[in-house]
Structures are given as C-alpha cells and as structure tokens.
Amino acid sequence: MAMINVANINKLDMNLLLVFHCLMTERSVTRAAAILHVTQGAVSSALNRLRHHFGDDLFARSGVGMVPTRRALELSPKVTEALTAISGLTGGPSGFAAETSHRIFNIALSDDIEGYVSPKLVSEARARDLGVSFAFHQTNSLLWKQALADPDTDLVLCSEPKEMTSQYSSQVLFSSSYSCLYDGPRLKLPNPMTREAYLSHDHVRIAFDGRRGFVDDLLEREGIPRRVSASFTHFAGVLPLLAAGDAIATLPTFVAETYAKLARLTVSPVPIHVPAFRIFMIWKIERNEDVNNQWLRRFIVEMTQELQSGVRKEADARKTGRPRSSRAPSAAVPERAGGTPARESSLMTGRRGGR
C-alpha cells in the first residue's frame, strides 16, 4: 500500500484545489467565483494562498484572461486526477447497468482524439463484457456546438472549445503538447530531432482549412520559410505519407505516439518552442444528472487517466532534453459549467491541430 504523507496534506486546504481547477478551466476569476458560489475576492484570496504554497504565480492576468504558468500546466493533470478520485468516492452508484444495456453512445470528437480514445473505449468495453457500444462523429473546437445540437450526441471531446456558455458543462480530461513524427531510421534523421534538421526537412501540414497552421506562424515570426510537401485537413491522412514518404509531421503528442505504434515511426520532442493545450469533455448542462451520461463521462475519464502520467513524463523529458520515445515497438475529473478557454494563435481561429 502506498504511504500517504498526512503532514503534507495538512499543509494545503483541499478547497484550494477546487479554486485552482476552476481557474484553470475558466481562465477567469469572475467565472470561477460564479461556479464556486463565492465572491471574486474569495477566489483572489485563495489564489494568493495557492501562490504562496507552490512558490509560483500560477496565473498571470492578460487581455484574454488568466494565463497559466508552466508550473500551473504541470500541476493541472495531477490536480484533476486527485479531484476526480475524490469525486468518485463521494458519488453514489450510477444506476446505469452497462453490462446489460444495449445503448449506443454517440461521441463527437476530432480525429486526433478519436485515434487515441476510440480503441481504448471499444477494447475496454469488450474486455469487461459490456453491452454498450459507441458511434464516433467528427467535430472540432469551432463546430462542437453543432454536434451537441443533435439530440443524439451524448458529449463532445475537443481541444480548447470556443465560445463556451452556461448552457454547457465541461471537464478537462488532460493537457498535451506536440511531438515530431517521422521515419527516423529510413530517412536517417536524428532522435531527438535537431533544430537544423527540423527546419531544413520537408513538413506535412495538418490544418483545419488545409492552408496554414501554428508552426507556419511560429516560423514566420522568425523569418524562416517552412518547407511543406503536403497539407491535410485530418490527422489520419498523414499516416500513409509518413510511413512511405519523406516528411516530418508536428502532431499532438498523444496521437503521435498512437500513430508511431501503428506504423513503427519515430517520436521526438519538437526542437522549437510549441504551445501546450487542453482536451475538454463537454455536454449539455441538462444532462448533468443523467445516469447514462454520468456513466459515459466516468468511463472516458478512466480510459484517459494514463495520459496524465504520460504528460508528466513528456514534461520531464523536455526538461532533460531526452527524447520521449524513439522507434516505436510493433506490439501492441471534477466538472464545471460555462467558460471561454483561450489558446495560442492560429489554433484560436479554429485550425484545430493546424501544424
């Protein structure tokens, strides 16, 4: 049994973690206070206590809201995991029998998240001999409201949803950043990828409109032209090209590692500074107490828990300069309502995954 450091726990009021979580998801003291049913002054006071405890500013005020520091982004998955566990302890039985139900759950999501999540949900449901099944539908951070307008859609998974309102509830599932994906041995490219190799080699772009992604923006600011041999509007389209062609893709780390296992490709940290982002689970607020929806949300949280440790390993690898992984082997949260999350440059304009 793991030892629990009671002295450490006594040093921190657990309610402060709820404040941290609401600030991370809402990026606003005003909205966090509304969700917690406290005053803005109380949230500000709690934030000051959090800053003192962790020895970091955690959030900085900006024109787009409260922007988390690197330390806050590192803490976020751990806080979500802890609060999710506590929420599970305090909640009663769902009243939904997944073993005998023949319900088809409709999940709308972008295809990078689909590539990671869908095999886990389907495989685990089969392993547990559940009666439920899943239907996956395409959406993104701009079109997610259209997906939820369909009464058959149970929930949405997307990155940094735009225009969140009080009609919806949401939960941050995990945070991620980006990695390079390429055939290292065949192309004789280094691992970890060097800046020189990254800038001089052909790239594959994945962008919402197929025209421009955030990597284009980053390099343009430095006056560096980007060599792009092909552009795609969906992540899955890059896989055959990377397996047989001569190019590098910059993808969310979780899907880069998924594709690497499928096609025996190489995963490396990106040798330029790239942003982090969060993956949200969103549903209509009237389904908060729906037992079917509650079961699905818990199941998805459970199936994505390993990404929390994966994100921490990625952060550690970036600090030490070690590659997250090399040639891949062939073998095989608390909730909230409302909010308007922000995200870096071109991703803010709807180019979900624009690379």
Residue 328 structure tokens: 């891949």
Determine the Cα–Cα distance for residues 178 and 172; give it in Å rounded to an integer. 18
pTM above 0.75, yes or no: no
Residue 146 scores a pLDDT above 50: yes
Sketch out the chain's domains with CATH numbers: 7-90 (1.10.10.10), 100-355 (3.40.190.290)
Residue 4 scores a pLDDT above 50: yes
Q: Percent of the chain beyond pLDDT 90?
A: 58
**For residue range 275-299, what is the model confidence (pLDDT) as tens digits?**
999 999 999 989 988 999 999 999 9
Mean pLDDT lowest for which of 125-139, 247-261, 315-329? 315-329
Q: Which residue has the higher pLDDT, 138 or 346?
A: 138
**For residue range 67-122, what is the model confidence (pLDDT) as tens digits?**
999 999 888 888 887 887 777 666 555 578 999 999 999 999 999 999 999 999 99
Determine the Cα–Cα distance for residues 272 and 322; give it in Å rounded to an integer. 14
Residue 21 scores a pLDDT above 50: yes
Q: What is the pLDDT of residue 344?
A: 28
